[in-house]
Amino acid sequence: MKLRALLTAVFGLLLSAGLVVAQPQEQELGEVDFPISCNEEAQREFEQGLLQLHHMMYSQAQEHFDSAAGLDPQCAMAHWGIAMTSFQPLWHPTSEEGLERGAAAVEAAQEIGAPTEREQAHVAAAEAFFTDPAPAAPSPPADHEARVLAWKEAQRELHEAHREDVDAAAFYALAQVAYAQTQFSPEEEHDYALEREAGALMLSYLDRHPEHPGLHHYLLHAYDSPELAPRAEEVAEAYGELAPETPHALHMASHIFVRLGQWEETAEFNERSAEAALRLADVDPRAGGHYVHALDYAMYAYLQMDQEERARETLERIQNFEEGMPPVLTVAYGVAAPQARYYLEQRRWEEAARLEPRAPDVIDWETMPAGDALFHYARGLGAARTGNLEQAEGERERIEAAVRALREKGDDYWAHMTEALGQAVEAWILYESGETDTALGLVSEAADLEDSMEKHPITPGEILPVRELYGDMLLQEGRTDQAIAAYEASLERTPNRRYAKTGIEQARAARSSAVNQHREATMP
């Protein structure tokens, strides 16, 4: 069945079941008030672009800023907007094309000359991101970190000079969260200090600007952690209704819902997001990235609710997606992850071992080693758990190749996360080979590595948490107390996961059975 027909049928089913609601005809985006020194027509286009920018709908925002520049050739702030759409600080390092486009837009704004000090300050803050780091950074991730730091400091100065400017405050909060994300490290415990500060800043403006999309959006990113998520539940629900036809706004609420283990809400908002993205893809194929991102979150939720049929339908939608995709990890992850999740979460090991790698062929997988490794993680675990150790070893080698490629790129975060996957596969190979103690030590080490890194915002959670795999291995060895401790530790990071809870139940039942057998054996 073609994707459009399949999606229509699925969406009708979900609509009748009450999991999604019909969208209004007129698009709503929230409200901004950002006066600029441009003519009336350009001002209107500028504010539409700014709304889309705060929703991280970058392509749509750029169209409005381009239009504003055409409507008023002397509108410097239109070029500021183009520069601000040229980088996506929370998603991935900026491409060479994006850096060139952003730098050219800043230069155009400066050549035109913004007539007010406030507008000049906004242009200067954007310029900070596009100024080459000195000394030059050795890799794209290091370059991104340096640019985000420079931007954060420039946005701080702008915010402190113009505290009445809600947009200056919002972009400062976003810069803080983006910089905090670059500081993830397995050697240091994350204290969420920057995220707390950014969230508090957004809350301090929210009462006066209750429909400002940036305040909602960046607060949700700031509180996207197990510790802080409970503070954002109300804002998550509100943001999803602030822009009910905008794919990313509908999706963002689920960043909080998954942290709280609220699976029905996660499924509902991501189905709405996927449908909105698919409608948008009819006119802008780049919206396909929002589509697969939403489906990955929806898949995660369906599997936690044991809704296999809906999970299977989601898998088919991913595998039948035929649109071309931008070569970024956000998209590659959204395509690979739900396919791996579908089999691993259900412990369907034989099918996991047969998962077709690098499918569908809409992405240059050679350039996406972190996404490509997810296929081999599923295949490797599936092969090891079914006794095909030769295949499992081959899949482990492919994961190791992905780790080397990531290290060569200087992408330490994904290198560490991918290394944990390879170690988990190797541990199960060792276990199936009879090297139990070595296997338990290695899978415990892999779980520690994975747990030491924060969940990236492009994912609702690990494909199959290594800590749960550690619990599975302990359970198979009859070490029930240790297995329970492992599953409970997994639930602290990812609350309400179905298989962690099932593992605890199985371990408790096994422990009870062992106690009863011991009693019977020792009765006189």
CB 378 within 8 A of CB 355: yes
pLDDT of amino acid 25:
37
The single residue listed with the structure tokens 């709908």 is: 57
Nearest CA among 52, 9, 45 for reference residue 246: 52
Residue ranges of the chain with pLDDT lower than 70? 1-27, 323-325, 514-524
Least Cα distance to 415 among 139, 224, 148 occurs for 139
Helices 213-222, 40-54: axis angle to 10 degrees equals 20
Q: How far apart are CA 317 and CA 346, in angstroms?
A: 19
What pLDDT digit, counting tens, does each position of 308-344 carry?
999 999 999 999 887 656 778 989 999 999 999 999 9
| pLDDT of 189 | 82
Q: What is the Cα–Cα distance from 323 to 97, expressed in whole angstroms? A: 22
Residue with tokens 């402190």: 160
185, burial (CB in 10 Å: exposed 0-12, middle 13-18, buried 19+): middle
Q: Which residues contact 209 (CB under 8 A, 6 or more apart)?
A: 31, 166, 215
- Which residues have a Cβ under 8 Å from the Cβ of 329 and sit 6 or more positions away? 91, 92, 368, 370, 371, 414, 458
Distance separating alpha carbons of residues 39 and 190, to the nearest angstrom: 46
Burial call 382-402: b when 16+ CB within 10 Å, e when fewer: bbbbbebbebbeebbebbbeb
CA distance linking residue 23 with residue 277, whole number of Å:
12
SS percent in the chain: helix, strand, coil, step 5: 70, 0, 30
Residue 387 is which amino acid?
G
Residue 431 CB-density burial (10 A; 0-12 exposed, 13-18 middle, 19+ buried): buried
- CA nearest neighbour of 370 among 402, 347, 339: 402
Query: From the CB of residue 357, how many other CB atoms can be counted at a distance below 10 Å?
Result: 16
Q: Which of 97, 163, 162, 155 is nearest to 129 (CA)?
A: 155
CB neighbourhood size of 498 (10 A): 15
CA distances from 340 to 316, 352, 497 (A): 13, 7, 17
Please give the helix or strand (H or E) that residue 90 lies within, else none. none
Phi/psi region, residue 192 (left: phi>0; alpha: psi -120 to 50; beta: rest), is left
User: How many residues would you count in the chain?
Assistant: 524
**First CA to last CA distance, the chain:** 67
pTM of the model: 0.90
Q: Which helix (H) or strand (E) holds 520?
A: helix 498-522
Q: Report how far residue 8's alpha carbon sits from residue 246's, in angstroms, rounded to the nearest whole number.
A: 19
Per-residue model confidence as pLDDT tens digits over 161-179:
999 999 999 999 999 999 9
- DSSP for 457-510 reads TT-SS-SS-HHHHHHHHHHHTT-HHHHHHHHHHHHHHSTT-HHHHHHHHHHHHH
Asked if residues 295 and 301 have their Cβ atoms less than 8 Å apart, the reply is no
At which residue do the structure tokens 């204290």 appear? 191
Please answer whether residues 88 and 97 qualify as being in contact, where contact means their C-beta atoms are separated by less than 8 angstroms.
Answer: no
For residue 10, what pLDDT is reported? 38
Two tokens, residue 38: 């441009």
Q: Are 184 and 454 in contact (CB under 8 A)?
A: yes
Between CA 56 and CA 20 the distance in angstroms is 23
Q: Which residues contact 12 (CB under 8 A, 6 or more apart)?
A: none
What is the pLDDT, as a whole number, of residue 516? Answer: 61
Report how far residue 470's alpha carbon sits from residue 483's, in angstroms, rounded to the nearest whole number.
7
pLDDT for the residue 170 = 98
Quick one: angle between helices 166-182 and 140-161, nearest 10?
150
Residue 211, pLDDT score: 96
Q: How many CB atoms lie within 10 A of CB 20?
A: 23
CB contact at 8 A, 391 and 353: yes
Query: How does DSSP classify residue 74?
Result: T
For the chain, what are the domain ranges? 36-222, 238-324, 329-449, 465-524
Q: Can you say whether residue 322 is alpha, beta or left, with left for phi > 0 and alpha for psi between -120 and 50 degrees?
A: alpha
